[in-house]
Amino acid sequence: MFVNYTDRLADFMATLHVDDIPPDIRRLARVNMMDGIGVIVAGQAFLEHESDFRLKNYISLQSGAGQSTALGFNQSLSMQNAGFVNGSLSEVLDWQDTTMPARLHSGSGTVPAVLAAGEWRKSSGPDILKAMVVGYEVGARVGVAMQPSHWYEGFQATGTIGAIGAAAAVGSLMGFNTSQMSSVLGVAGFIAAISNGDGVFHGFSIKPVHGGMAAQAGIQAALLVASGFEAGPLEGLEPRKHGFMNIASEIYDPESISNGLGTDWKSRDCSQKLYPVGLLIIGPVQVTLELVNKYAINPEQVEKILVTSYSDTLHFVGTHYTSVDSTYIDAHLSLPYAVAVAISDKEYGWRQQSQQRINDPVVHELASKVKVDVDKTMDQTYPMDWPVRVEITLKDGSVFSQRLDKVTGCPSRPMTDDELVFKFMGNTTGLIGEENSKRVQEMLMEIENVDTVNEILELLIPMN
């Protein structure tokens, strides 16, 4: 007998009350919104610093009623375009959150979609909180049901599954009933972008756009359903089952999208990034910085660097070397570059990805000394832990090494509130000022008490 698991998931999300959400899941919704806004603002500041006007040029070509704000640009666009711009900005620095079991940057689609639709509807703080929970949980559940097969088929879940999470979040803000919520998931699966690995891992400038496409498609899906459009379940219909999950993943488990609803929160595994680099590089950078600062290691002393970690590290980022011709997109997916610049600068922020820094040939020469090896035993605790060992050998024969299993930001060691507030303030103060940054941070951490999300967005206007 055919079971519609999408309907089951939709019914739970459509009838969810904010009082039913566990305290730790509420906390995640707050900090994910704060982190997401900070990363968006930092992305715009970085593009401005780099004189990268491609996204700004795209905005100038668009038309549509001013309904929602493109952060950093201080421009009012249509909901879909604002979601697109903010979602793309969230991916610029690769500093976004990650639900690792789903292989999904959840906030890249959901946060911009919630901001855009929430501003348009003047949504209350409690409604924003619930929409965040709905979007993150739906995205996580669909992702866990399809991964890692979806990934190995060449899809990037941030653009594909991210659209489904974003659609659910906007549907929540629009008060969709069970039938509408089920349709919005199906519609999002029908119109989602085919985000692919080549577009992400080969240095193309289009890479950040898959976050924007997820937000845009999520908003569009909700507007289509509000207009009366319908769609079938994500798992597909008998006999061919040509729905989103079946055609986009060779191996998938449709039952898991509705199993344990209300008790087993898949979004609980979402965590945030300590540094603006690819997720697999965070641990190597963290350990490298601890070593060079503890032992006062200077780059000219270094003979070689060996990084040992789990298999995905070598496969996706371990052999990606850079040159003065590389871009910031190359840089934040290159483990050798990240380790080298961490040794040279003894810090890692978005300035380490600037073209000025990339243009220094000395950094790439040091990066050529970085080699990555695999310890298969480290695969056993990944992805909940991100174990890594860094060994730095100096020219005088001295060797300094350190291992870290619970890297800051991995699911088993998430960033603390204090760490996330520090990150947010660093990402926003330069653009909107310390006073406004502090006020926004306080409002986001107590979002249930905010009358409308518009009050927050008004404080995010750039100083200049």
User: Looking at the predicted structure, is the pLDDT value of residue 75 above 90?
Assistant: no
Residue-wise pLDDT tens digits, 217-249? 999 999 999 999 999 999 999 999 999 999 999
pLDDT at 448 over 90: yes
pLDDT at 201: 87
Domain borders along the chain are: 5-272+421-458, 279-404
Q: What is the pTM of this model?
A: 0.95
Q: How confident is the model at residue 372 (pLDDT cuts 50, 70, 90)?
A: very high
The better pLDDT of the pair 58, 188 is held by 188
Question: Residue 33 in contact with residue 125, Cβ under 8 Å?
Answer: no
Does the fold of domain 279-404 match that of domain 5-272+421-458?
no
Q: Which residues 6+ apart lie within 8 Å of 150 measured at CB?
A: 103, 143, 157, 160, 161, 248, 249, 252
pLDDT at residue number 73: 83
In tens, the pLDDT along 44-59 reads 999 999 999 999 888 8
**Position 62 pLDDT exceeds 80:** no
Strand partners, 196: 155
Selected from 3.30.1330.120, 3.30.450.40, 3.50.50.60, 3.40.190.10, the CATH number assigned to the domain covering 279-404 reads 3.30.1330.120
Distances in Å between the Cα of 361 and the Cα atoms of 276, 321, 357 are 21, 12, 9
The pLDDT of residue 63? 63
- Would you identify the CATH topology of the domain 5-272+421-458? 2-methylcitrate dehydratase PrpD (1.10.4100)
- Sheet with 302-309: list strands edge to edge: 370-374, 302-309, 388-394, 399-404
Alpha helices by DSSP H, 227-281: 244-247
Query: Considering the chain, what is the average pLDDT of its residues?
Result: 95
pLDDT value at residue 1: 63
Q: What is the pLDDT of residues 259-299, one digit of tens each?
A: 999 999 999 999 999 999 999 999 999 999 999 999 999 99
By residue count, the chain amounts to: 464
164, 139 contact by CB (below 8 A): yes
> pLDDT tens digits, residue range 128-173?
999 999 999 999 999 999 999 999 999 999 999 999 999 999 999 9
User: How does pLDDT run across 98-126, given as a tens digit for each residue?
Assistant: 999 999 999 999 999 999 999 999 999 99
- pLDDT of amino acid 60: 80
Tally the C-alpha atoms within 13 A of residue 459's C-alpha that lie toward its C-beta.
20
Q: Is 223 in contact with 83 (CB distance < 8 Å)?
A: no
pLDDT at 393: 98
Question: In terms of pLDDT, which residue wins out, 435 or 72?
Answer: 435
**Is a pLDDT exceeding 90 seen at residue 11?**
yes
Query: pLDDT tens digits, residue range 405-418?
Result: 999 999 999 999 99
